[in-house]
Amino acid sequence: MSNRRRLSSLLLLLWLGTGCATAVPRREPPGPDARRALDLLASRWDEFSDLRARVEIVVEQSGERRRFEGVLLAKAPGSLRFEALSAFGQPFLYLTVHDGRFTAYDATTDEALVGPATAETAARLLRVSLAPDDLVAMLAGRALPPKDLRTAEVLPPDEHGPSLELIGGNSRQRVWMDLETGVVRQVTIREGWTEARITYRRDGAGVLTGLDLRVGDADLAGSVTYRNRIFGGGIDQARFAFTPPNSAKIRAVR
């Protein structure tokens, strides 16, 4: 597998969404039920501080399946570090999001991809549009409304339960959630012609154990499974800093 394909596989699953301009709807104030649901989502996000876990990441695209075992660190509002480990327990792939920058480094080829950690950069690089805080929220089992929220409406329950529809300037989200606790079960994100679906897995106590993700028209699916997860254990911000070796061949994304 080429270095670019390997870095892309890692980034595709951890920074997923799609971007395409749509007509901007008129802004409308949410009704009481929608306002209550939005407050629950905000409260759940405010409760989250950090997560560390041993993880298994699987990416399936165009008939190819790639699997990564590693260590994930995530901290609110938008810091991330993932190290993919070899069979001998040595890191060989790194992905960090820190201080508004992302770095993806492949130690096997001594090559790195670096650039600003923005939704716009992600959209240009991988057809994705999740900002760092959206990414951290997704990995933490939370959901953040669009930054440019226009309308919010609680929809009648379907086979997945009650949901909250959120329409932004160029995106539409649907969040299936417990309207009493704010626990998120599933999220769909539609931008342009593409829809991404994130389904969370939880244990009997409602604690996050993993997530499954599928993008409709991109023939892309993946999963993240957590092991030995610790929520709120405290992570020093310096842990998210990563500088490739001086010898690395660096490609900058602007």
Q: What's the mean pLDDT when you consider all of the chain? A: 88
Q: What is the pLDDT of residue 97?
A: 94
Greatest C-alpha distance within the chain:
57
CB distance 102 to 47 below 8 Å: no
The count of structural domains within the chain is 1
Cβ neighbours around 11 below 10 Å, total: 20
SS3 assignment, position 15: coil
State residue 20's pLDDT score: 44
Average pLDDT over residues 7-11: 59
C-alpha–C-alpha distance, residues 84 and 94, integer Å: 6
Residue 69 and residue 56: Cα distance in Å, rounded?
Answer: 5
pLDDT at site 24? 64
Structural domain containing residue 45 = 3-252
Task: Residue 84: give its domain's CATH number.
Answer: 2.50.20.10
At 189-231, the pLDDT tens digits run 887 777 889 999 999 988 999 999 988 766 788 999 999 999 9
According to the model, what pLDDT value does residue 19 have? 43
| Tokens 């306002």 found at | 35
Tokens 């327990």 label which residue?
89
pLDDT of res. 36: 98
Alpha carbons 68 and 8: distance in angstroms, whole number? 13
- pTM reported for the whole predicted model: 0.87
Q: In this predicted structure, what is the pLDDT of residue 17?
A: 41
Q: What is the pLDDT of residue 194?
A: 75
Q: Enumerate helices (H) and strands (E) in the chain, giving the number of each.
A: 4, 14
Q: What is the pLDDT of residue 5?
A: 56
pLDDT > 90 fraction of the chain, expressed in percent and rounded: 70
Q: Can you tell me the distance from the alpha carbon of 92 to that of 74, in angstroms, rounded to the nearest whole number?
A: 19
Helix axes 119-126, 3-14, angle to 10 degrees: 130
Bridge-based pairing of strands 249-252 and 111-116 is parallel
* Amino acid 9: pLDDT: 58
Residue 174 has pLDDT above 50, yes or no: yes
| Distance from C-alpha of 182 to C-alpha of 180, rounded to nearest angstrom | 6
Do the beta carbons of residue 97 and residue 242 sit within 8 Å?
A: no
Element (H, E) at 40: helix 32-47
Distance CA 103, CA 241 (A): 9
Q: Where on the phi/psi map is residue 161: left (φ > 0), alpha (ψ -120 to 50), or beta? A: left
pLDDT tens-place string over residues 82-94: 999 999 999 999 9
Query: Mapping DSSP to helix (H, G, I), strand (E, B) and coil, where does residue 124 land?
Result: helix
Query: Which residue in this structure is represented by tokens 């409406």?
Result: 153
**Stronger pLDDT, 109 or 122, i.e. the higher one:** 109
Q: Which secondary-structure segment (H or E) carries 85?
A: strand 79-85
**Per-residue pLDDT tens over the stretch 18-60:** 444 445 678 889 999 999 999 999 999 999 999 999 999 999 8
Give residue 170's pLDDT band: very low, low, confident or very high (50, 70, 90): confident
